[in-house]
């Protein structure tokens, strides 16, 4: 009989669903301390705020789930589609540490065809499987955001991720994957659950490039009831993007895109919520990563926010348009109050109409 796996670490999502781990599985355990290091370009900012890359399905959950499923031959076969998809696309994943080599990618595809052996280049693979661009969205750091979910599924931000080439929202695959992976770790450790998680994450793995961009106009803002009224960001992806997707999937996909450039963007030292891209800003040291979870704090939304000053439109390196003000919407748009002034939104999007005859655009 194979030797038993060591007891699960405190805070582990998968608390030893497998009673034992064979030799191949023991050689393919994700070292969470190694994958906590951020692989993306540092110094990306919006206003005075340093941006972070938000995991949608948390890297801790992915690590714990992988480490459990990979322990058996049947489990490794379930993980094969995910390894295959990563091998197919990882050479086009871009970040500070560049991307996987062709040799690495070939090794991962070969392993997907023969899961009875230890995967070659696993040290690189563990970094990539926990930092796939399709599982990442740029945004405010946890300390400047309301109710950051920590290692739990980031449902609101997932709806900022856009679409796959099949016209389906990435959030639908991420939601299914998170549900299956968490279900497996919470006790339903069946091979069907493992396959469901792997197959949905394999879809996410097909997204190349870099994390989705930060779209400040689509985040709300409020104040903490504690912390001297500090302004914080409020993710509203599900309440805006999901509603648009349900009404008009094509408009949602056109608006949010899917694959994004890797050039990091920087902004002047203008206040958050009003900053605009400025590619000439030099990179600055990144803040140290905080704990995986953090205490939720009570917030209250500010009302009667003043509209921002007019800005000059330009297209940034992530291929989305920074808003322009004082223009009339097209016939395919409505003039809506986004919480940061009046902006033109695609018809079908949730909309609180602005009284002003002039609006803005994306």
pLDDT in tens, 159-216: 999 999 899 999 999 999 999 999 999 989 999 999 999 999 999 999 998 899 888 8
Q: What is the model's pLDDT at position 342?
A: 67
**Inter-CA distances, 185 with 3, 60, 150, Å:** 21, 12, 17
Tell me if 300 is assigned to some domain.
no
Tell me the pLDDT band of 245, cut-offs 50, 70 and 90: very high
Better-scored residue on pLDDT, 11 or 65 = 65
pLDDT in tens, 30-49: 999 989 887 777 778 887 78
Tell me if 156 is assigned to some domain.
yes
Cα–Cα nearest to 161, from 348, 10, 329, 320: 320
Q: What is the model's pLDDT at position 167?
A: 93
Q: What is the model's pLDDT at position 95?
A: 63
Tell me if 204 is assigned to some domain.
yes
Does residue 330 share a domain with residue 207? no
Give the range of the structural domain holding residue 13, as residue numbers without chain letter: 1-215+234-283
Give 250's contacts (C-beta < 8 A, 6+ positions apart): 167
Does residue 242 share a domain with residue 361? no
Classify 316 in phi/psi space as left (phi over 0), alpha (psi -120 to 50) or beta: beta
Tell me if 6 is assigned to some domain.
yes
Q: What is the model's pLDDT at position 352?
A: 74
The span from the CA of 257 to the CA of 49, in Å, is: 24
Say how many C-beta atoms besides its own lie within 10 A of residue 352's C-beta: 10
Does residue 341 share a domain with residue 255? no
Does residue 201 share a domain with residue 155? yes
Tell me if 297 is assigned to some domain.
no
Tell me if 295 is assigned to some domain.
no
Q: How many domains does the chain have?
A: 2
Does residue 262 share a domain with residue 352? no
Better-scored residue on pLDDT, 90 or 270 = 90
Q: What is the model's pLDDT at position 203?
A: 97
Q: How many CA atoms lie within 13 A of 38 on its CB side?
A: 19
pLDDT in tens, 126-159: 999 999 999 999 999 998 998 888 889 999 999 9
pTM: 0.71
pLDDT in tens, 319-362: 332 333 345 777 777 777 655 456 677 776 667 777 665 665 54
Does residue 156 share a domain with residue 16? yes
Tell me if 278 is assigned to some domain.
yes
Does residue 329 share a domain with residue 207? no
pLDDT at residue 7 above 50?
Answer: no
Does residue 242 share a domain with residue 336? no
Q: Report, as an integer, the average pLDDT of 304-320.
A: 34
Q: Which two tokens stand for residue 123?
A: 């040290």
Tell me if 23 is assigned to some domain.
yes
Q: What is the model's pLDDT at position 50?
A: 86
Q: What is the model's pLDDT at position 84?
A: 98
Q: Report, as an integer, the average pLDDT of 221-239.
A: 79
pLDDT in tens, 263-307: 544 433 333 333 333 333 333 334 344 444 433 333 333 333 333
Tell me the pLDDT band of 10, cut-offs 50, 70 and 90: very low
Does residue 60 share a domain with residue 185? yes
Does residue 183 share a domain with residue 108? yes
pLDDT in tens, 57-69: 999 999 999 999 9
Q: What is the model's pLDDT at position 258?
A: 86
Q: What is the model's pLDDT at position 225?
A: 57
Q: What is the model's pLDDT at position 119?
A: 97
Largest CA distance in the chain: 75
pLDDT at residue 101 above 70?
Answer: yes
Does residue 28 share a domain with residue 147? yes
Q: Report, as an integer, the average pLDDT of 217-223.
A: 86
Q: What is the model's pLDDT at position 261?
A: 64
Cα–Cα nearest to 135, from 71, 49, 62: 62
């Amino acid at each position: 009989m194979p030797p038993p796996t060591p007891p699960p670490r405190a805070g582990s999502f998968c608390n030893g669903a497998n009673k034992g781990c064979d030799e191949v599985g023991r050689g393919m355990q994700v070292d969470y301390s190694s994958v906590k290091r951020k692989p993306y370009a540092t110094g990306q900012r919006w206003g005075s705020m340093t941006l972070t890359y938000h995991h949608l399905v948390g890297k801790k959950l992915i690590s714990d789930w992988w480490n459990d499923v990979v322990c058996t031959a049947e489990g490794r076969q379930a993980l094969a589609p995910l390894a295959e998809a990563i091998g197919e696309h990882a050479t086009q994943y871009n970040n500070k540490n560049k991307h996987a080599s062709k040799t690495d990618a070939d090794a991962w595809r070969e392993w997907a065809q023969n899961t009875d052996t230890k995967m070659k280049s696993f040290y690189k693979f563990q970094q990539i499987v926990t930092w796939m661009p399709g599982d990442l969205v740029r945004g405010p750091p946890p300390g400047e955001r309301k109710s950051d979910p920590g290692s739990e599924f980031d449902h609101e931000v997932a709806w900022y991720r856009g679409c796959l080439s099949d016209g389906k929202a990435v959030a639908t695959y991420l939601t299914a994957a998170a549900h299956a992976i968490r279900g497996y770790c919470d006790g339903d450790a069946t091979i069907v659950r493992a396959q469901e998680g792997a197959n949905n994450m394999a879809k996410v793995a097909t997204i190349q490039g870099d994390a989705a961009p930060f779209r400040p106009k689509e985040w709300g803002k409020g104040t903490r009831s504690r912390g001297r009224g500090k302004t914080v960001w409020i993710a509203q992806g599900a309440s805006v993007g999901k509603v648009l997707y349900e009404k008009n999937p094509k408009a949602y996909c056109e608006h949010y895109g899917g694959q994004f450039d890797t050039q990091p963007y920087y902004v002047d030292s203008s206040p958050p919520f009003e900053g605009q891209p400025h590619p000439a800003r030099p990179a600055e040291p990144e803040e140290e990563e905080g704990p995986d979870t953090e205490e939720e704090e009570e917030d209250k939304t500010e009302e009667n926010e003043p509209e921002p000053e007019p800005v000059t439109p330009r297209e940034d390196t992530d291929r989305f348009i920074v808003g322009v003000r004082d223009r009339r919407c097209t016939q395919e748009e409505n003039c809506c109050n986004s919480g940061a002034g009046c902006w033109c939104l695609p018809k079908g999007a949730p909309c609180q109409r602005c009284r002003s005859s002039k609006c803005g655009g994306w």
